[in-house]
Structure 1
């Protein structure tokens, strides 16, 4: 098993555990911290998807599909859980809109890659890796800003 393939189950578990850490937000600061953690969880799922696309030639098709499926499920869970947290103010509404825009875009991108993988394979793996890197970078910047 290649190094990225060995790390995938651990990273998916970490993403799942982090995505389960959402609770009510009592004030804007608490809400921003939750938004930052949400972004971090999304970055984790994106990095697994990226590794799967980048190293697809080193793993079986079914394994790649499982990893991408888990990444989509993790991103969906992140969106659902954070989307259920009530923003305490108008300022928090803007944070909510920004993080959900990014995480929903990430989910959509990985879903599209999963569909491609199940059909004939990812059409342009290099472009997909660049897009996943770009999204992960935006989410990482968001998370860093909301620590």
Structure 2
């Protein structure tokens, strides 16, 4: 029986969805489900059309925070492999920005864990986002809807 693996990357370069799926499957111990989520940089923001987004982070602290989110998911659901990639640097619209992949024996746990990790990644991971739009430059905070969703997880168990 393979030990569940957790792979976290914070990187400037883009990622290959097929390769990431293959790696999750390779490190899964006969799990019956793999769920992945890929987030893209949106062109339209609350403050105009996006020219690009710049993401900054604090190396070491960011990876530790992402690992903590994975550990919380493992405490809640019987999951196998986890893969998180979050990009940093200057990203134009339609670029891939985040990837979360989870394997599990059953789909329900894989879906729930993936959604949980995305909700907490958006609200608790130390990334600083700045948008350059047609209306100017703006620092972006987590949306209140994202904060409510993360809070729902805390009050549901």
Q: What is the TM-score with the length of structure 1 in the denominator?
A: 0.31
Q: Which has the higher helix share?
A: 1
Q: Name the structure where strand makes up a greater proportion of residues.
A: 2
